[in-house]
Amino acid sequence: MVTSLNEDNESVTVEWIENGDTKGKEIDLESIFSLNPDLVPDEEIEPSPEIPPPSTSSAKVNKIVKNRRTVASIKNDPPPRDNRETQMKDLDVITIPSKDVVMVHEPKQKVDLTRYLENQTFRFDYAFDDSAPNEMVYRFTARPLVETIFERGMATCFAYGQTGSGKTHTMGGDFSGKNQDCSKGIYALAARDVFLMLKKPNYKKLELQVYATFFEIYSGKVFDLLNRKTKLRVLEDGKQQVQVVGLQEREVKCVEDVLKLIDIGNSCRTSGQTSANAHSSRSHAVFQIILRRKGKLHGKFSLIDLAGNERGADTSSADRQTRLEGAEINKSLLALKVN
């Protein structure tokens, strides 16, 4: 398996398992192409104007990855692992070979016990590896939605994925021990752009006011994270729109006000420890930025950090409460797949 790309000397590092041991060596790209001439790129792909064009060697290796006749893949340096992952000798099984492709490596075993990797590729609008900062993820996902709420629209951005995959890190900000720098999360980045948009002449004349709400959905119940976790009711109004009754809206004048509210909400949010994630969010968190004009709703941006879905194997050793939480989380997430 190709584990890294060395652009300076146009080579790749290859690793394989032999008699239970991991071995590897460095191979230059020219040797690969001489042995496999069909892998040499035969056309230039026009780069996206927003993303810098890849180097020559990167383009060549991406061609290898996309060719179904090979099992090669590009793997960036893995992120620092926690103690549990180190002890279990966990390995990365995801590779981002290009800006819109995700490759999954599934370990397989033949009848003769020969081990190999089966690679599957999935295409998205954009794909980011573990080196991509939150600012880049925000730029290509939530940022284009900010203008929507100024045009009297409703926008939603949510993070969905397996427990421990980095949803809370992306939405809420960087963690350092028990502390969280919420200024680097998508909540805060969206708020920053909202206040920048307010200064534009065509929106400034509207005299819009900005409010924020923050609530969580835990075990089918809704709690206000900005009002001492007061239990709320969810009802349908006369227009058949779902409303969270009693949810407290806080007016915010600047980004600093938003950061304070995020800190308050995060400190109240329900979390716990599971066998799959030492800092697992056990609830769905919904942070909303609301624009009002003369007291009437003008636009709303809902930013949602969903609780992570969990496999039964990951919760088999958990206590009863954790298993019940996991079942409730998976049941609520199923609504996304059904709809």
Report the topology of domain 134-338: Kinesin (3.40.850)
Q: Return the higher-pLDDT residue of 302 and 43.
A: 302
In this prediction the pTM is: 0.69
pLDDT in tens, 248-295: 999 999 999 999 999 999 888 887 555 555 566 789 999 999 999 999
Known binding-site residue numbers: 161-168
| Burial letters 319-334, b for 16+ CB under 10 A, else e | eeebbebbebbbebbe
Known binding-site residue numbers for ATP: 161-168
3-class state of residue 290 by DSSP: strand
pLDDT in tens, 2-21: 656 666 666 666 665 555 56
Q: Which residues contact 122 (CB under 8 A, 6 or more apart)?
A: 101, 102, 103, 104
CATH 3.40.850.10: which residues of the chain? 134-338
3-class state of residue 71 by DSSP: coil
Can you give the C-alpha Rg of the chain in angstroms?
Answer: 24
pLDDT band at 68 (very low <50, low <70, confident <90, very high): very low
